[in-house]
Copies of this chain bind each other. A is one copy, B any other.
Amino acid sequence: MFTLLGSDPHSLARRGRLVTPHGTIETPVFMPVGTQGSVKTVHPAELKALEAQIILGNTYHLAVRPGMEVMREAGGLHKFANWDGPILTDSGGFQVFSLGKIRKIKEDGVHFQNHVDGSPMVLGPESAMEIQATLGSDIAMLFDECPPHPCTFEYASTSLDLTLRWAKRCREWIDKNQPQTNGQPQLHFGIVQGSSFAELRARSAKELVAMGFDGYAVGGVSVGEPEPEMMAAVENSIPFLPHDKPRYAMGLGTPPQMLEMIARGIDMFDCVLPTRLARHSTLFTKNGTVNIKNQTFARDFGPLDEDTHPLCHGFTRAYVRHLIKAGEILGLRLISLHNLHFYLSLMSRARKALEEGYFNEFRKEFTANYKTHTSTPDSTSTPTPSPS
């Protein structure tokens, strides 16, 4: 399913190809997030134009609303959302912990009240896998507990034990039910946990690999920890993951973080930053982020950035600023498209750099430029990313 096409001589970076039931994905890849069955503000035809290879859907959100009866009758998430490309669904675990109310973690799963109408729900390893099978995603994630940051070694260890018991039950459910999508087997990724403890990360990775999955994610990152801990979590997991399977860092990150993660052996990313920062009127540029509401841009008749997507061609910073100030949705749309293009084209440039052997230079140059903020006095810095 996953083919390693090449690797960087100066780092752990890899160039790969992952075949899924709904299509082939070239890695490293960025996956736009469609939490509620829609990448915020974006039409599926625009996602194709942006050359998005795969999008995310959120099990928790979709199970709460519209609910699984609708999803089942719709024939799965691809048909429902009018997207025929690959989809990855998370297990819902993360959202249960971040959005669910009065939650209780039991051996069978998590009991909670959903954030929309307060209805009591239970999500556990079997139900999370069953829901994802119904959604028909190409890649389903195992159900795990994502420990908070910071947490004690004892909490992290006990939590990891539970996550591993759940992983075993997911494995059994998959083996028994053999879920398919588009007539081919659904792929399943295990999630390495263990918080900031190296020995727990190692144990987590080894035990998951022993169970055997189609890919492995590093979870429990981007939960408020400092960046060195985030990097360490990946560094402590990667050595125990097989070379012939894709690796996914969940919920990350800023553009330089993604390049650093690629250098540490990560192949796949998802992050809400491109669309979330758009809602804060913030554009990604090669020099860092800028807030389009800034007075500086009132008469800036240049493009959103030197490199922007054709869908944003012909629109000036002054116009987009006007749209945002006037509350016009087209402004939000254009910034969302631009930011997604920024992330997606960063990945395609990284792939090309890997193919042509200059990834190390590319990463250094990009990061050096990106850290240099624009001279705009009140341009926003990038906030810490967090999952949607």
Name A residues whose Cβ lies closer than 8 Å to a Cβ of B: 36-38, 40-45, 61, 65-66, 69-70, 73-74, 80-82, 298-299, 301, 311, 314-316, 318-319, 321-323, 325-326, 328-333
Contacts of A66 in B (CB 8 A): 298, 318, 321-322, 325
Contact B38 A323 (CB under 8 A): yes
Instruction: Give Cα distance in the complex from A331 to B328, angstroms.
Output: 15
State whether A333 touches B43 (Cβ < 8 A): yes
Contact between A74 and B301, CB atoms less than 8 A apart: yes
CA gap between A80 and B330 in the complex, in Å = 13
10 A-B pairs with the lowest CB-CB distances in the bound complex, closest first: A82-B314, A66-B322, A36-B326, A41-B329, A38-B328, A38-B330, A82-B315, A80-B319, A73-B299, A36-B328
**A299–B74 alpha-carbon span in the complex (Å):** 8
Contacts of A41 in B (CB 8 A): 329-330, 333
Q: Is the CB of A319 within 8 A of B36?
A: no
**Minimum C-beta distance from A314 to chain B (A):** 4
Q: What CA separation (Å) do A151 and B102 show in the bound complex?
A: 61
Contact across chains for B40 and A82 when beta carbons are under 8 A apart: no
Residue among A38, A69, A81, A333 with the most chain B CB within 10 A? A38
A218 to chain B, nearest CB (A): 29
A75's nearest neighbour on chain B, judged by CB, is: B301
CA–CA, A74 and B43, complex, Å:
29
Judged by DSSP, the binding face of A is: helix
User: Chain B's nearest CB lies how many Å from the CB of A82?
Assistant: 4
Shortest CB distance A297–B (Å): 11
The answer to whether A316 and B65 touch across the interface, beta carbons within 8 angstroms, is: no
* A37-B322, A319-B82 known; A332-B333 Cβ under 8 A: no
Q: Given known contacts A61-B326, A329-B333, what 14 new A-B pairs fall within 8 Å (CB)?
A: A36-B323, A37-B326, A38-B326, A38-B330, A40-B328, A41-B333, A42-B330, A43-B333, A65-B322, A66-B318, A66-B325, A74-B318, A80-B316, A80-B318
Q: Please name all residues of chain B whose beta carbon is closer than 8 Å to the beta carbon of A330 when the two chains form the complex.
A: 38, 40-43
List B contacts of A311 (CB < 8 A).
43, 45
Q: How far is the CA of A44 from the CA of B330 in the complex (A)?
A: 10
Q: Can you show 29 pairs from A to B with CB atoms below 8 A apart?
A: A37-B319, A37-B323, A37-B328, A38-B323, A38-B326, A38-B328, A41-B329, A41-B330, A41-B333, A43-B311, A45-B311, A65-B322, A65-B326, A66-B298, A66-B325, A70-B298, A70-B299, A70-B318, A70-B322, A73-B299, A74-B301, A74-B316, A74-B319, A80-B316, A80-B318, A80-B319, A81-B319, A82-B315, A329-B332
Closest to A336 in B: B329
A300: shortest Cβ distance to chain B, in Å?
10
Nearest chain B residue, comparing its CB with the CB of A67: B298
User: Which residues from chain B contact A331 at a C-beta distance below 8 Å?
Assistant: 38
Which partner residue on chain B sits nearest A332 by CB separation? B329
Nearest CB in chain B to that of A314: its residue = B82
Q: How far is the CB of A136 from chain B (nearest CB, A)?
A: 15
Cα separation A329 to B44 with both chains bound (whole Å): 13
Instruction: Report chain B residues within 8 Å CB of A298.
Output: 66, 70
Task: Give chain B residues whose Cβ lies under 8 Å from the Cβ of A40.
Answer: 328-330
